[in-house]
Structure 1
Amino acid sequence: MDETSAGPGAVRLVHDDDRDRYEAFEGDEAVGVLYYGDETPDTGTSAVRDLRSTVVAPERSGRGIGSALVRFALDDARERGYRVRATCWFARGILSRPEHADLRADPADDEGSRA
């Protein structure tokens, strides 16, 4: 499991590779999760990590936990050499930013992600 902290007094971010998800904790309480799935193309290109669903506890909404989870997942994918697709609307919004262009599995998805 990979782990980082989002800052002083903030959530602890954990990559649970065995369960295909990233988690955000405040103390021992899980307050957010980002589910993903990996695909290995037959073409010999980089594996693709599909960010499928971002969920944050309703009482923690609006505090940046979801954004922190997605950024953590994108940094992890970059380190591992993965390309990224986001079927999750929330993650897609962050992935469509110019600073993540190098990660996108299909750069043509940029236009459709702004709907």
Structure 2
Amino acid sequence: MSVTHNAAESRYEMKADHGLAIAVYRQQGDARIFTHTEVPPEDEGKGLGAKLVRAALDDTRKQGFKILPACSFVVAYLRRHPEFDDSRS
């Protein structure tokens, strides 16, 4: 499953078995504020959310933007992967 950046919708998307998993952000200056992550209920617990968020954060960094979490899933991900957390800078 690959992750795509849907810039028109300000979100990252990944096709799952039962729908679309999304990581939504709001652009604010040189930062992307991640506001919502959603995985179809039937696909939860399979690691799709972590894969989606990892790809979104990698791409955000490659584009030169800071990462700011406002979504509980992204906050939890950043606790496990503090190298991505720009809110601590």
Tell me the TM-score range normalised by the shorter chain.
Answer: 0.7 to 0.9
| 1:38 to 2:53 alignment | no
1:77 touches 1:84 (CA, 8 Å); kept in 2?
yes
Q: What is the root-mean-square deviation of aligned Cα atoms in Å?
A: 1.7
The CA distance in 2 between the partners of 1:39 and 1:95, in whole Å, is: 19
**What per-residue deviation string (whole Å, max 9, x for no partner) do you get for residues 1-60 of structure 1?**
xxxxxxxxxx22111011101111147x633111110001xxxxxx01001000100000
| 1:21 to 2:4 alignment | no
Structure 1 residues 62 and 24 mapped into 2: Cα distance closer, same or farther (>3 Å)?
same
**What per-residue deviation string (whole Å, max 9, x for no partner) do you get for residues 61-91 of structure 1?**
0011111111011101110111111100101
Partner amino acid, structure 1, of 2:40: A
Partner amino acid, structure 2, of 1:25: K
Aligned to 2:88: 107
Flag the structure with larger Rg.
Answer: 1
Identity %: 31
Partner amino acid, structure 1, of 2:9: R
SS of aligned partner of 2:13? strand
SS of aligned partner of 1:34? strand
TM-score, normalised on structure 2? 0.88
The CA distance in 1 between the partners of 2:20 and 2:9, in whole Å, is: 16
SS of aligned partner of 1:70? helix
1:23 touches 1:30 (CA, 8 Å); kept in 2?
no
Bigger fraction of residues in helix:
2
Unaligned residue ranges in structure 1 (runs of 5+): 1-10, 41-46, 109-115
| 1:60 to 2:49 alignment | no
Aligned length: 88
Unaligned residue ranges in structure 2 (runs of 5+): none
